[in-house]
Structure 1
């Protein structure tokens, strides 16, 4: 069995697809197709730079993986092949679609075993006919119909098509699960790298441990409640607020508060150090369709690290309500922050023990094994049908 994955660019950020497929790489070949896009490029510097990056990447590498990663070892954590597709994102015209399919077909690896398609982007439906697959999995990790920076009309239509084509649909949240036919849809919540976040890590130099701290990491995007963050920082000037991640929206309102510190994105393996040395971690999201449907990876990472959590009230935190303080207005946020600041060392250790037990069975390996069980059951049922 082998996996052909339509996902984001490999290594660009640690997505749930990357975590799950990495957990399978020691047992199966994984061929990874870098992002085919969710919208047409526009004439702006960001998109021009992105196109330049992709062209440079394709020119500097062969279509398959580099020689040193084509032959995997049991210790490899890199796909057997990384395909950098030379396609125009979200092609609309039939001729462009044909050219895209032809170019990608020339880059695809020869099929060696039963091939499982893992499509984390609905636009992968445009390429299924050239993939020679035995099973198609549509993994829905976002509400693409409300995701910022997406061609919503085209992507919505693509999702309808891939819903019909998929043999298995996996949704990361109950809200997303409800969008699809119950007969072939399963809930697959995000997992967590338990040992990585529980293992003690040194304090990063950017963190001032002489003052209480409130931390967040992830995309600084339009779903962050910037107004709330400014109000919290102004109301608690003796607390440092650390926001760490790529900036994907205008964050100028945050620049006026001296105790709000914007840090660049850090490699995934360094995140535990921040969590373990922040006084508390937060999920300060606005209330919209995307947040109500989301299941943030960082939620379980916060829990695995044992960092006390305060969050906006949205469905993904409800299963952990005994361990997470939820707040719906400024006063509730301030009361929760003050309470977390007063925790003793023993109380923090007891909290960390509770959170580690809570997520003990939610590792990425367990999630990957759930996926394998579904695949094998489906393949066996098809074999039984064919032989009858």
Structure 2
């Protein structure tokens, strides 16, 4: 078979298939997984299995609410949320420290997923896991092919039982026919366990975020009249966010505003941010409104603490900021360096200096700046994924 014919066959292999996808809850913010599966659902059927969790619940209002929502979703059965995209909210017992519970989960989750597959008349399924917690069932659903799509170093999250998450991930790595990673460091780590490990970096919803450069895009009222310059951040306000850098930026520009858009994680104390008068915590906003907020940003901030979690991360927001045409200042994260186009700071003082450089060089959205990231669309990334999956199927002799 000629190479061109093999490549064409590889790309066709991931079409007209039934995919069982283990990921975060569908109704959350659209992360990389949502973008990928929305594109694949154009010519495949997708059963999206909502998160079964990477940690045990805690005795707080947030987790109680989450459990209640999961129970409510479970009673709805299978929902078709978009054409060819079906969502299942399974019940599971998220206490990973117990082998007995893991065995019970394996049976409970497998039964629920198999029932949904039968109801949808799934044939020759491919399972596609974004979470190590799917390890008890991945490869045990009669799949023809198993993909583990790793976008984080899950054992490094502070609110998980790292040892047990690492054990489950190793099971999944050994069972997978193909491992897809989103960062160089992740690939280098996972290939030690599974040689069939490849790298596909994140894409960006370019046409959505470039609206920040459109004169017709409205700036939301809660940011429109804030004093400038506006230094903006959006994303989950979690323990990997560098509060010191945000506070230093605000104090360096008392005439301006630092805007933080996103939910504050339940275990995070944001009082230090709230204590600074020109830091504005605006809360979580709809994805549809983010270009309008970016339009108000003079400089976008990517302040992460540098640790094992973030060294393995490929922050999606960086590409989104860039697609909005906004200059970006980031902590020194390897994947941000590889994107280029950003000013990378070595420490808190340097973070402030880099912001000042951006303000001096040309603040706010620029269509010319946005065009540099256009080629990194999610459609282009999904074509890479199709090729890798297809070649792995050809190599294994299965799923064609």
Is the structural similarity TM-score above 0.5?
Answer: yes
SS for the counterpart of 1:335 is: helix
| Contact 2:244/2:348, CA 8 A, preserved across alignment | no
* Structure-1 residue corresponding to 2:392: 378
How far the C-alpha of 1:6 sits from its partner, in A, is 0.5
Q: Which of 214, 221, 224 pairs up with 2:238?
A: 221
Q: What SS does the aligned partner of 1:365 have?
A: helix
What residue in structure 1 maps to residue 260 of structure 2? 243
Pairing 1:3–2:8 present: no
| Counterpart Cα distance in 2 of 1:80 and 1:330 | 44
Matched, 1:356 2:371: yes
2:171 is paired with a residue whose SS is helix
Q: Is the 8 A contact 2:47 2:87 kept in 1?
A: yes
Deviating beyond 6 angstroms after TM superposition, the runs of 4 or more aligned structure 1 residues are none
Report how far residue 91 of structure 1 moved.
4.5
CA–CA distance in structure 2, aligned partners of residues 232 and 382 of structure 1 = 53
Aligned to 1:262: 281
Residue 174 of structure 2 is matched in structure 1 by: 164
Displacement of 1:129? 4.7
CA distance in 2, matches of 1:162, 1:84: 21
Deviations 1:241-290 (A, max 9, x none): 00110101111111111100001111212111111221110111111111
Moved more, 154-163 or 328-337: 328-337
Aligned to 1:148: 158
| Other structure's SS at 1:4 match | strand
Q: State which drifts further: 217-226 or 204-213.
A: 204-213
SS in 2 for 1:32: strand
The one of 325, 333, 357 aligned to 2:343: 325
Q: Which residue of 2 aligns with 1:308?
A: 327
Residue in structure 1 matched with residue 39 of structure 2 by the alignment: 23
Distance across 2 between alignment mates of 1:348 and 1:53: 38
Give the TM-score of the pair, scaled to structure 2.
Answer: 0.86
Task: Give per-residue Cα distances to partners, 1:105-151, cap 9 Å, x unaligned.
Answer: 24431253321111001121101254111111111111112112112
Using a 3 Å threshold, how does the CA distance of structure 1 residues 121 and 303 change in structure 2: closer, same or farther? Answer: same
Is the Cα contact below 8 Å between 2:152 and 2:312 reproduced in 1?
yes
Deviation per residue, 1:148-205 (Å, 9 max, x gap): 2112111000011111100100111001111122630111111101111112221111
Say which SS state the counterpart of residue 108 (structure 1) adopts: helix
Contact map agreement 1:216 1:244 (CA 8 A) in 2: yes
- Give the distance between the partners of 1:113 and 1:55, measured in 2 at CA: 28
Tell me how far apart the structure 2 counterparts of residues 255 and 93 of structure 1 sit (CA, whole Å): 39
Gap runs ≥5 in structure 1: 70-75
Aligned residue number for residue 136 of structure 1: 146
Question: Following the alignment from structure 1 to structure 2, what is the Cα–Cα distance between the partners of residues 298 and 100?
Answer: 34
Equivalence map 1:1-388=2 (5 Å): 1-59=17-75, 61-62=76-77, 64-65=78-79, 69=81, 76=82, 80-93=85-98, 95-104=100-109, 105-106=111-112, 107-110=115-118, 112-181=122-191, 183-199=195-211, 200=214, 201-207=217-223, 208=225, 210-248=227-265, 249-321=268-340, 323-344=341-362, 349=366, 352-357=367-372, 359-383=373-397
- Of 124-133 and 100-109, deviating more is 100-109
- What is the alpha-carbon root mean square deviation over aligned residues? 2.2
SS in 2 for 1:164: helix
Verify the 8 A CA contact 2:297 2:365 in the aligned structure 1: no
What is the CA–CA distance in structure 2 between the aligned matches of 1:173 and 1:234, rounded to whole Å? Answer: 33
Q: Deviations over 1:288-341 (max 9, x none)?
A: 1111110011010011110011111110111243x2112223432333222322
Query: Any unmatched runs of 5+ in structure 2?
Result: 1-16
